[in-house]
Amino acid sequence: MSSGRVLVVDLAWRRCDCGHFQVERLPCRHVIMCCANQRLDWQVYVSDVYKMSEIRKPHQYFTSMRRQHGMPLNDKIIPYLYMAGLAHLVILNDHWFKLDEPMVSAFVEQWWPETHTFHMPFEECTITLQDVAYHLGLSIDGHYVSRCLTDFQQFIDGRRPAWDWLQELLSMLPSADCIDKFTVKCTWMQETFSHLPHNPNEETIRRYARVYIMMLLSTNLLGDKSGTHMHIRWLPYVAKLEDMGGYSWTSAALSWLYRCLCRVANRNVVKLADLLQLLQSWIFWSFLGFRLDGFDAFHWPMVTRWSGYQPTLSKKGLESRSGGSR
């Protein structure tokens, strides 16, 4: 080379010192020159991620771990949901649609953690803040939701024990058999706070609103794979209900989705606890080939547009699967 730099190409390990071969998973010009010199077919070194046949034939299916909210909504706590900027999530709780696991799995397998994008045969693409706002009806503006997911105890007033603060905010504490580290059984929350008492005072309404919002965040927005327990990491937020509307829940949802997709990059992970319905709604809207017939009516948030979708009854879904099995 004119610069005097020597680049080493290792076809066995699919590496080139220029770095493009490893990052793009496509033969760089040095690899192509090496293949030409050795009379090898450079197309053999093109990653399967660029082949349409692989997109329609996922190697493994990812199943959704989304839990049902399981708590009825009382009209008296609705103002607090609007105050927190989470009212649209309540609508989604009644309009979730069935997940098309093969289709979602095919897209998840194209996810690259290094760039937080889907590497499709035609281009890279990803879900943006605007997409999350449109599909879930959440606000983009506001303070970021930070650190409560790992070291939330640092945000407890007076650094008191977390369970003391929970008892202060909810006026009761779950029994020991309903507690596991910093999580509470969802069944205890549902059985204890499902129905407001008759003629409740304002403080009682706030307690029930706190529980409803914590369950909403744990099951519909930032869920995990525990399946039966709810983390109390949301205490610093529900303690000040008036301030919750000042946070960007859209950016929190997007970051959580990216985090879960990056974890699935590990082939040993086959279950996701995140908003896979958000991902599927984005696929329907962004890729005309997957857009459904008979779901043309406008709805807000956009995720509710696909309410009632059944993958096994989808003509396009059947065509996609038959095309991938040929």
Contact (CB, 8 A) for 284 and 132: no
Q: Is the pLDDT of residue 174 over 90?
A: yes
Question: Could you tell me the two tokens for 149?
Answer: 């997911």
More confident call, 136 vs 64: 136
Mean pLDDT calculated for residue range 203-222: 90
Q: How far apart are CA 79 and CA 88, in angstroms?
A: 12
pLDDT at 26: 83
Q: How far apart are CA 193 and CA 17, in angstroms?
A: 60
Q: Is the pLDDT of residue 164 over 60?
A: yes
Q: How far apart are CA 308 and CA 95, in angstroms?
A: 8
β-strand partners of 9 = 16
More confident call, 302 vs 292: 302
Q: How far apart are CA 94 and CA 69, in angstroms?
A: 10
Mean pLDDT calculated for residue range 12-19: 88
Q: How confident is the model at residue 61 (pLDDT cuts 50, 70, 90)?
A: very low
Q: Is the pLDDT of residue 130 over 90?
A: yes
Cis peptide before 200 (omega within 30 of 0): no
pLDDT at 268: 65
Burial class (CB in 10 A: 0-12, 13-18, 19+), 108: buried
Contact (CB, 8 A) for 130 and 140: yes
Mean pLDDT calculated for residue range 271-296: 81
Question: Could you tell me the two tokens for 185?
Answer: 């059984």
β-strand partners of 15 = 10
Q: How confident is the model at residue 324 (pLDDT cuts 50, 70, 90)?
A: very low
Q: How many CB atoms lie within 10 A of CB 18?
A: 16
All residues at 6 or more sequence positions from 294 whose CB lies less than 8 Å from its CB, including other chains: none
Q: Is the pLDDT of residue 322 over 50?
A: no
Q: Is the pLDDT of residue 177 over 80?
A: yes
pTM here is: 0.72
Q: How far apart are CA 50 and CA 255, in angstroms?
A: 26
Contact (CB, 8 A) for 271 and 225: yes
Question: Could you tell me the two tokens for 232?
Answer: 């109390």
Pairing of strands 179-180, 183-185: antiparallel
